[in-house]
């Protein structure tokens, strides 16, 4: 049976584990040729092997690395059709401890990387004149104003702003641009951080009870990547069991 994404090339950044890995797995299941890009070379290679995809190690906050990444994608596949900006660092640090080095690092990985990769991907999409999908993983912390994450919340808010602006500029080329804002997700990174202690509190705020899973986010991304979502752009979809309602 044909998949919804047959014949399409999808790049998922930060997909060695967690939400990114779940997204890559789902897009591959829907028929896409998936490229996993992660600074974790071994983890990215293992994740790609598991889904029959390709791994290209890259620091997507580095302009030279991004240029090399897209040159290889063009050479090997002809160009990307679907971009998922997922690469992220999720900190836990009080405002009084935030210095400029921390701020710059979080902004670089969570926001500047989205600019660099989206710039390269949409240039490639427009050169091929076949439209495309840009889906960026933001966070519901932007709406909740979650403490101990000031730089992260600012960066993820920037991702939403970039999404809205690019939807306007790129729609004429048949490129849709959307964001997904997960709530607290039981991912590898969260389980290894202080955020793992917040599930009970967060669940009290949710309309639907339970712990969010990476697959919950992957299902929504797969929808936005498909033709079923061809008339949706410039939107932010909250995937947090109704914790934040807007």
Query: Per the domain annotation, does 242 fall within a domain?
Result: no
Query: Per the domain annotation, does 161 fall within a domain?
Result: yes
Tell me how far CA of residue 16 lies from CA of 111, 150, 153, 176, 211, in angstroms. 19, 25, 23, 25, 21
pLDDT, tens digit (0-9, with 9 covering 90-100), for 71-121: 999 999 999 999 999 999 999 999 999 999 999 999 999 999 999 999 999
**Paired tokens of 186:** 């039981």
In degrees, rounded to 5, the angle at the alpha carbon of residue 157 between the alpha carbons of residues 197 and 11 is: 85
Those residues with Cβ within 8 angstroms of residue 196's Cβ, 6 or more apart along the chain or in another chain:
190
Beta strands in the chain (DSSP E): 9-13, 33-38, 54-57, 82-85, 132-137, 175-182, 236-239
Query: Per the domain annotation, does 2 fall within a domain?
Result: no
Query: Per the domain annotation, does 4 fall within a domain?
Result: no
Query: Per the domain annotation, does 118 fall within a domain?
Result: yes
Catalytic, 173? Answer: no
Query: Per the domain annotation, does 88 fall within a domain?
Result: yes
- The answer to whether the CB of 2 falls within 8 A of the CB of 29 is no
Q: Average per-residue pLDDT in the chain?
A: 94
pLDDT, tens digit (0-9, with 9 covering 90-100), for 30-75: 999 999 999 999 999 999 999 999 999 999 999 999 999 999 999 9
Model confidence, pTM? 0.95
Tell me how far CA of residue 212 lies from CA of 40, 92, 183, 241, in angstroms. 24, 19, 7, 8
> What is the Cα–Cα distance from 175 to 161, expressed in whole angstroms?
17
How many structural domains are present in the chain?
A: 1
Q: What is residue 96's three-state secondary structure?
A: helix
Query: Per the domain annotation, does 243 fall within a domain?
Result: no
pLDDT, tens digit (0-9, with 9 covering 90-100), for 182-237: 988 887 776 666 777 776 777 888 889 998 899 999 999 999 999 999 999 999 99
Burial (Cβ within 10 Å: 0-12, 13-18, ≥19) of residue 172: exposed
Phi, psi for 176 (deg, rounded to 5): -95, 145
Which of 36, 152, 176, 217 does the annotation list as catalytic? 152
Give the domain range for residue 109: 9-237
Domain with residue 230: its CATH number is 3.40.50.720
Query: Per the domain annotation, does 245 fall within a domain?
Result: no
């Amino acid at each position: 049976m044909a998949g919804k994404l047959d014949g399409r090339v999808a790049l998922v950044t930060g997909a060695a584990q967690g939400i990114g890995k779940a997204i890559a797995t789902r897009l591959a299941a829907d028929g896409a040729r998936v490229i996993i890009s992660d600074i974790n070379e071994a983890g990215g290679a293992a994740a790609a092997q598991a889904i029959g995809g390709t791994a290209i190690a890259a620091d997507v906050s580095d302009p030279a690395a991004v240029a090399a990444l897209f040159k290889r994608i063009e050479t090997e596949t002809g160009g990307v059709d679907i971009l998922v900006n997922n690469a992220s660092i999720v900190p836990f640090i009080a405002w009084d401890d935030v210095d400029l080095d921390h701020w710059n690092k979080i902004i670089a990985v969570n926001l500047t990387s989205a600019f660099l990769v989206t710039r390269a991907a949409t240039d490639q999409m427009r050169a091929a004149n076949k439209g495309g999908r840009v889906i960026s993983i933001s966070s519901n912390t932007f709406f909740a104003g979650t403490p101990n994450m000031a730089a992260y919340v600012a960066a993820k808010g920037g991702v939403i702003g970039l999404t809205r602006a690019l939807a306007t500029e790129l729609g004429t080329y048949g490129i849709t641009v959307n964001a997904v804002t997960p709530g607290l997700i039981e991912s590898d990174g969260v389980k290894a951080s202080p955020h793992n202690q917040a599930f009970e509190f967060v669940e009290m705020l949710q309309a639907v009870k339970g712990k969010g899973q990476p697959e919950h986010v992957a299902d929504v991304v797969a929808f936005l990547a498909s033709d079923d979502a061809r008339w949706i752009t410039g939107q932010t979809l909250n995937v947090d069991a109704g914790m934040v309602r807007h």
